[in-house]
Amino acid sequence: MLRHVLALVILVAAALHGTPAWAQTAFTQVEIGLQSAGTCPQFGVRDRASKAMVPLGCVNAGASGPSFTMTPGIVSMRGTLPAADLSLAGTHNPPAVMLGAGNRVSFCPELSCVRGPYDGSVVPAFFDHQRASVLISGPSQLGGQAQEQLLAVIGTAATGSVTAWQAGKAYAAGDEVNRVNPNETGAVYRARTAGTSGGSPPPADRPNALPFLFNDGGVTWEWINDPVLAAKASLYVEQKVKPGAGGTWAQATNVLLDTGLKPSFHVNTEMDIGNNSGTDCGFGNGDCFNLFVRSGGTNMLTGNVQIESVPHGPPHAAYFGLRITGPRTAKLADIVTDSSGAIGLGICSTGTDVCTHSTASINDKSVSPVGLKLEGSYAAFAIQTPGFTVDPSGFAKVTGLNVLTGTPGSSSASCSAGDLRFDGNFVYACVAANTWKRAALTSW
């Protein structure tokens, strides 16, 4: 049972303390109650219509201090925006969980906190420069006992599988099918009535008006979604950039290894995906990517992926710009370009920076049957350098040829066709395996 703890008459308080006009007209007598017993006593208010006490949550003393557990449901923050909370604007990474709809919580992240002038001439030495609707901040508390996350988002997807529509198939009410176009658009339908499908599928396009129903034999289909959206996500981030916007990030993560730290294992973002489904992904059997990057729109982007170092610090920012490692990382190819750009693989070809590779632009130390294999249909050259070209038929042209000096031991000495040698009297040419011929050199 909930017992009565407090009765407040808002209208009387308004008369005594000058409560704003909206409070005078929007509220009547309020009763707040706290349950007298239980491991977590319920805290609630009385509903005016039913006169019953409605729990809002429970108060738990707990071994680590008092806490308030909210009753499951929906928490809504809307209406007139309150004033911004600036209480944490000058505190680096404080322990706090704060909510303020409409980006009303000011905070100061250590790695990107804009503080006052470096000479300390401005007091207070911070600016209200970053705000959020939700702020979760705090240090780790444990050693090796547990992994700690400031925000944990855990999803388990077990629904949403949609199969392709089939003619002459018996469908139950609630079954869902999709109709997908080659350009990945389409439609998802749910059977409103059970029956056997006919010979004409529902349209593979989004309808112009809802509800959209389609009679298919004995089945009535209702459009419910686009196929690309009929998926589940543990975390979804969207940002629309409109005219007038400055620099934007849909997501920004910053990690700084402090002075004195001995590096062990530190990554900015880790992505792990495993496939124990019993079916391999790819090539018409469903795609599974650890990282999927897609560009679109009517205008071009600068690039899909850019890896860049900053100009200050050590001579080099990292050992590798991009590293692909592991003996079984890729079955078909480590790097594949299936596009139609001007250059398939360009090294120092953009002209935006100076490349001075100290050892080689391409260094192949693999144990492979072929070091470089070209199988394309080339209009001009398969290989082209300023002094060496190979045309599509395999005919090579060189501006210079380094022929070794020396005299073969005999006409049957070891050689391969095309080897050349010369000494003071003869030029030697290997015309077949282990077969030398020579021509005399004369003066004029």
User: Measured between alpha carbons, how far is residue 276 from residues 218, 273, 280 in Å?
Assistant: 39, 10, 9
If one counts the domains in the chain, the total is 4
Asked if 40 contacts 59 with a C-beta cutoff of 8 angstroms, the reply is yes
pLDDT of residue 435: 96
Tell whether 112 is covered by a domain: yes
Tell whether 294 is covered by a domain: no
* Count of all residues that appear for the chain in the document: 444
Q: Which of 70, 85, 118 is the last residue of a domain?
A: 70
Q: Which of 24, 44, 70 is the last residue of a domain?
A: 70
pLDDT of residue 125: 61
Which is it for strands 420-422 and 404-405: parallel, antiparallel or unpaired?
parallel
State whether 91 and 65 are in the same domain.
Answer: no
Tell whether 198 is covered by a domain: yes
pLDDT of residue 180: 86
Alpha carbon distance 295, 173 (integer Å)? 39
Tell whether 251 is covered by a domain: no
State whether 89 and 50 are in the same domain.
Answer: no
State whether 65 and 82 are in the same domain.
Answer: no
pLDDT of residue 49: 82
| Global pTM exceeds 0.85 | no
Asked if 150 contacts 136 with a C-beta cutoff of 8 angstroms, the reply is yes
Mean pLDDT rounded to a whole number for the chain: 86
Alpha carbon distance 131, 244 (integer Å)? 19
State whether 110 and 66 are in the same domain.
Answer: no
Q: Dihedral angle at the C-alpha atoms of 429, 432, 434, 437, nearest 10 degrees?
A: -30
Residue 224's domain spans which residues? Answer: 180-229
Q: Return the residue matching tokens 């006009």.
A: 21
Residues of the chain below pLDDT 50:
1-24
State whether 106 and 57 are in the same domain.
Answer: no
Tell whether 145 is covered by a domain: no
Q: Which of 19, 38, 70 is the last residue of a domain?
A: 70
pLDDT of residue 82: 80
Identity of residue 172:
A
Tell me the sheet residues that pair with 436: 430
Tell whether 274 is covered by a domain: no
Alpha carbon distance 417, 406 (integer Å)? 17
